């Protein structure tokens, strides 16, 4: 989650994203200003590329409103990609767009989640190269966890994540924590699974507790470009100051449309393809 990011995949907002508010099942907070969303996304990807990674754009215009949150439809492991099946019905099919990109770029698909299993990428978190955490949530069910675990290498831990505000505001495991470096993380202590809290303590990870009002503004969603260098959505001054006190290099970007409206942070906006 924090090794230097070399290649990353993104999806620019298109007409489907622009119409997302019209479908209540998408859960967007207000009508989308598509031009503003595209400007925000362009600035985000330019800032990300300036930090070193090669940023790849998905070729096809997606019919899925949530496709810009490219973290969720697939995982990329050392052996290849795993295609997921979202617990949000309207997102099913996004994984096929990523599968086509993987095939075009020579990335093997080593597995896929099949019905009745569901897994969202936001419920899979690596604490170390050999330690992976999987959240059992409203988007990732037991059947999905059962299929996923054999596809992952290393020591896997499964944690139940709180119901929270319910299906309309689903909490992924990565809603509760973002790794900043191997020994530093930002967390929502109120929602963090107790077992994960204990594991972080065992590993000696220092926790920055995000205040509730900044949790609501997605301060727990931080993209590590490399250890101690992160991208965050603008705002959230308490969390940003706490990161900077720890010596973290913080790069902010505007995200009223692409982050706050669709409730997907900088990690959600990316599908890391290669870190090393």
User: 212-231 pLDDT, tens per residue?
Assistant: 999 999 999 999 999 999 99
Phi-psi label, residue 168: left if phi above 0, alpha if psi -120 to 50, beta otherwise: alpha
Taking the whole predicted model, whether its pTM rises above 0.85 is answered as yes
The DSSP element (H or E) to which 100 belongs, if any, is: helix 94-104
Q: Residue 170: pLDDT band by 50, 70, 90 thresholds?
A: confident
10 Å CB burial of residue 209 (0-12, 13-18, 19+) is: middle
Domain residue extents for the chain: 5-275
Backbone phi, then psi, for 255, in 5-degree steps? -145, 35
Q: Residue 14: pLDDT band by 50, 70, 90 thresholds?
A: very high
Percent share of the chain, pLDDT over 70: 100
| CB within 8 Å of 240: residues ≥ 6 apart | 219, 232, 250, 252
Q: Residue 3: pLDDT band by 50, 70, 90 thresholds?
A: very high
Q: What is the mean pLDDT of residues 59-81?
A: 93
Q: Return d(Cα 266, Cα 174) in angstroms, integer.
A: 12
Q: What is the pLDDT of residue 61?
A: 84
The long-range contacts involving 17-26, CB below 8 angstroms and separated by at least 24 positions, are 17/65, 17/66, 17/67, 17/68, 17/262, 19/65, 20/65, 20/66, 20/262, 21/261, 23/65, 23/90, 25/89, 25/90, 26/65, 26/66, 26/90, 26/262
Backbone phi, then psi, for 142, in 5-degree steps? -65, -40
Fold entry, domain 5-275: 3.75.10
Q: What is the pLDDT of residue 168?
A: 77
Strands of 74-145, DSSP E: 74-76, 81-83, 109-112, 124-128, 131-136
Q: What is the pLDDT of residue 60?
A: 65
Q: Which of 113, 63, 107, 111 is nearest to 87 (CA)?
A: 113
Residue 227 DSSP SS3: coil
Residue 237: both structure tokens together: 């001054």
**CA atoms lying within 13 Å on the CB side of residue 5:** 30
Q: What is the mean pLDDT of residues 178-195?
A: 97
Residue 80: both structure tokens together: 């290849």
The answer to whether residue 151 scores a pLDDT higher than 70 is yes
| CB within 8 Å of 39: residues ≥ 6 apart | none
The region of weakest confidence among 7-21, 132-146, 158-172, 217-231 is 158-172
């Amino acid at each position: 989650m924090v090794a230097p990011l070399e290649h990353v995949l993104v999806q620019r907002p298109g007409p489907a994203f622009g119409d997302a508010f019209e479908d209540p099942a998408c859960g967007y907070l207000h009508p989308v200003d598509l031009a503003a969303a595209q400007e925000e996304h362009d600035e985000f990807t330019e800032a990300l590329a300036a930090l070193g990674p090669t940023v790849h754009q998905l070729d096809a215009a997606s019919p899925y409103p949530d496709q810009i949150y490219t973290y969720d439809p697939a995982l990329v492991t050392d052996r290849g990609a795993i295609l997921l099946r979202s617990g949000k019905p309207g997102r099913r099919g996004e994984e096929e767009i990523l599968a086509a990109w993987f095939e075009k770029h020579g990335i093997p698909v080593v597995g896929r989640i099949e019905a009745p299993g569901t897994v969202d990428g936001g419920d899979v978190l690596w604490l170390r190269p050999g330690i992976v955490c999987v959240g059992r949530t409203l988007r990732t069910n037991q059947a999905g966890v059962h299929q996923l675990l054999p596809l992952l290498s290393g020591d896997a831990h499964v944690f139940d994540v709180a119901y929270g505000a319910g299906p309309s505001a689903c909490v992924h495991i990565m809603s509760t924590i973002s790794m900043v470096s191997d020994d530093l993380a930002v967390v929502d202590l109120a929602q963090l699974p107790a077992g994960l809290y204990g594991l972080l303590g065992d590993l000696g990870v220092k926790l920055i507790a995000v205040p509730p009002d900044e949790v609501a503004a997605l301060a727990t969603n931080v993209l590590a470009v490399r250890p101690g260098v992160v991208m965050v959505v603008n705002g959230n001054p308490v969390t940003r100051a706490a990161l900077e006190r720890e010596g973290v290099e913080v790069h902010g970007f505007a995200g009223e449309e692409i982050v706050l409206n669709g409730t997907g942070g900088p990690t959600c906006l990316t599908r890391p393809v290669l870190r090393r």
